[in-house]
C-alpha cells in the first residue's frame, strides 16, 4: 500500500456518516465499507440493507403503457477479508 503524498487541500477533520434503517442497496454497501475501513464515525440507526444488494438501476418507460420499468443490473456482495 502506498503512502498518501502531502496535500494542503486534503480534508483532515472528523468524518461522520449519517445512517438510517431506510438505507438500502449501494448506500448500505457504502456504510459497511465506511465502517470496515474505519473512515469515521457512523451516527444513526443500523442499515436496512443486507450483505448482498443491488445497484445501478436502468430506468425505462414502456412504449404502450408508459409504465416505468426499473432493472437492477449489478449484484454486490459485502465480503471483507482480514
Joined grid coordinates for residue 8: 494542503
Q: What is the pLDDT of residues 26-53, one digit of tens each?
A: 778 888 889 888 999 999 988 887 767 7
Q: Chain-wide mean pLDDT for the chain?
A: 84
Distance CA 22, CA 74 (A): 20
Count: domains in the chain: 1
Three-state DSSP class for residue 30: helix
pTM: 0.58
Per the domain annotation, does 54 fall within a domain?
A: yes
Per the domain annotation, does 38 fall within a domain?
A: yes
Per the domain annotation, does 47 fall within a domain?
A: yes
Range of the domain at 31: 17-77
Distance CA 53, CA 4 (A): 31
Per the domain annotation, does 32 fall within a domain?
A: yes
Q: What is the pLDDT of residues 46-79, one digit of tens each?
A: 888 776 777 778 999 999 999 999 888 888 776 6
Per the domain annotation, does 39 fall within a domain?
A: yes
Amino acid at each position: 500500500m502506498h503512502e498518501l503524498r502531502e496535500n494542503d487541500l486534503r480534508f483532515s477533520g472528523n468524518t461522520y456518516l449519517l445512517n438510517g434503517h431506510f438505507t438500502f442497496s449501494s448506500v448500505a454497501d457504502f456504510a459497511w465499507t465506511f465502517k470496515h475501513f474505519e473512515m469515521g464515525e457512523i451516527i444513526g440507526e443500523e442499515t436496512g440493507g443486507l450483505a448482498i444488494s443491488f445497484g445501478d438501476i436502468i430506468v425505462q418507460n414502456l412504449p404502450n403503457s408508459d409504465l416505468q420499468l426499473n432493472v437492477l443490473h449489478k449484484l454486490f456482495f459485502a465480503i471483507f477479508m482480514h
